[in-house]
């Protein structure tokens, strides 16, 4: 896996290199060729390949997560958030968590059919499916592929509960499905707002809609009767942490009724990518940011221990939790989203299937 030259700039991408993933046995490093010519980065257009999955529901037993199953319509994410904790999953595909994660995407067009098969199996036990926990189901390629919409149609037909997390405003396209599902107690949505600064957002999450546009999406979802949670995540110390109360206030005004906050997580290859990004865009505060990150993760860039990985530890983490709880009380947020219904699940008849007389 080759590295891109460190002095090249790749417009529209947060990562500026393709570091070898942790499974590669061979690594190469780019060096200056000696020619006194200004470097030009090669174009990094988005490439999409197709995967035919045998199953799409992923199970977990993590005590930190409020769900035990999730689904991902895509692998990789064109939004390209530099802090994305899901970047290391691209290594399992033999790809880099760097630029590859943003531009070499995998679509799963058979996911709706496979999902219907899994939900129809005898003995299936209903519980909410979380979508958007790894990569965003409403990233730009969804506009043409429509896989997420087809998945929602399956969940609607089965009367199956779903919790969606996204930064993509394309979710507004599916209000005709989500509105009735929410009215039946089958859906709620989390919208991630990491900063209210459009300039910072553009370099940190280059292909994500602007913060103002995401607040409009919260407003439109709420107006359609869909319960909305604002995800003030990740909070980056010495970079975005001062915006916590402002983000919560803006989202509450837009119609969010619940909230969540998670501190910055830098697992595996994400640490190197984030540090390189910091030095490129914020060299004056890079050392300060990373010092605070290590402070809240026990002296490391990331502590993966259950109970610590989302919130961190130490004085800064304690202060952030206190600020967060205080803001929720002042702004009138509810403690939890409405419980999703699991008692109206029903397998719909398929084409050619004889209906029951009773």
Q: What pLDDT is stored for residue 29 in this prediction?
A: 61
Q: What is the DSSP letter of 103?
A: H
* Topology at the third CATH level for domain 47-331: pyruvate-formate lyase- activating enzyme (3.80.30)
Q: What pLDDT is stored for residue 6 in this prediction?
A: 44
Which residue numbers in the chain have pLDDT < 50?
1-8
> Any residues with CB less than 8 A from the CB of 59 and at least 6 apart, and which?
68, 69
153 within 8 A of 116, measured Cβ to Cβ: no
Q: What would the pLDDT profile of 13-54 be if each residue is shown by its tens digit?
A: 888 788 877 777 666 566 666 666 555 555 678 999 999 999
Let me know how many helices (H) and strands (E) the chain has, helices first: 11, 10
pTM for the full model?
A: 0.91
Q: What pLDDT is stored for residue 352 in this prediction?
A: 61
Q: What would the pLDDT profile of 114-128 be if each residue is shown by its tens digit?
A: 999 999 999 999 999
Instruction: To the nearest 10°, report the CA torsion of 149, 150, 153, 154.
Output: -140
The string of DSSP codes covering 144-187 is HH-HHHHHHHHHHHHT--EEEEES-GGGGGGHHHHHHHHHTT-E
- Give the ranges where the chain is alpha helix by DSSP (H): 99-103, 111-120, 142-145, 147-158, 175-183, 198-204, 211-223, 244-254, 269-281, 286-296, 315-331
List the domain boundaries for the chain. Answer: 47-331
- What gap in Å lies between CA 205 and CA 203, rounded to an integer? 6
Q: What pLDDT is stored for residue 4 in this prediction?
A: 41
Nearest to 262 by CA among 299, 218, 230: 230
SS3 of residue 216 by DSSP: helix
Instruction: To the nearest 10°, report the CA torsion of 129, 131, 135, 138.
Output: 160
Q: What would the pLDDT profile of 281-308 be if each residue is shown by its tens digit?
A: 999 999 999 999 999 999 999 999 888 8
């Amino acid at each position: 896996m080759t590295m891109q030259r460190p002095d090249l700039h790749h417009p529209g991408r947060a990562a500026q290199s393709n570091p070898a993933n942790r499974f590669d046995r061979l690594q190469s490093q780019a060096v200056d060729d000696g020619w006194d010519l200004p470097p030009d980065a090669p174009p990094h257009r988005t490439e999409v390949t197709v995967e035919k999955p045998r199953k799409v529901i992923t199970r977990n037993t993590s005590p930190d997560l409020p769900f035990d199953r999730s689904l991902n319509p895509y692998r990789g994410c064109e939004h390209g958030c530099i802090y994305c904790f899901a970047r290391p999953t691209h290594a399992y595909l033999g790809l880099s968590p760097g630029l590859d994660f943003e531009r070499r995407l995998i679509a799963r067009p058979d996911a709706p059919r496979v999902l219907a098969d899994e939900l129809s199996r005898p003995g299936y036990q209903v519980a909410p499916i979380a979508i958007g926990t790894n990569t965003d189901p409403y990233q730009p390629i969804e506009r043409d592929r429509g896989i997420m919409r087809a998945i929602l149609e399956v969940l609607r037909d089965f009367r199956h509960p779903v919790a969606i997390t996204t930064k993509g405003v394309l979710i507004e396209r599916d209000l005709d499905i989500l509105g009735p599902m929410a009215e039946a107690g089958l859906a709620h949505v989390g919208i991630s707002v990491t900063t209210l600064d459009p300039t910072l957002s553009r370099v940190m999450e280059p292909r994500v809609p602007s913060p103002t546009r995401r607040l409009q999406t919260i407003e439109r979802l709420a107006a359609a009767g869909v319960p909305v949670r604002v995800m003030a995540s990740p909070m980056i110390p010495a970079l975005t942490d001062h915006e916590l109360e402002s983000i919560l206030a803006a989202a509450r005004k837009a119609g969010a009724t619940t909230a969540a906050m998670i501190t910055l997580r830098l697992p595996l290859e994400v640490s190197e990518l984030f540090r390189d990004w910091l030095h490129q865009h914020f060299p004056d505060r890079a050392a300060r940011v990373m010092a605070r990150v290590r402070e809240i993760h026990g002296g490391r860039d990331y502590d993966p221990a259950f109970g610590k990985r989302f919130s961190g530890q130490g004085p800064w983490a304690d202060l952030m939790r206190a600020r967060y709880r205080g803001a929720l009380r002042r702004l009138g947020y509810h403690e939890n989203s409405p419980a999703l219904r699991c008692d109206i699940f029903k397998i719909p008849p398929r084409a050619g299937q004889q209906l029951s007389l009773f």
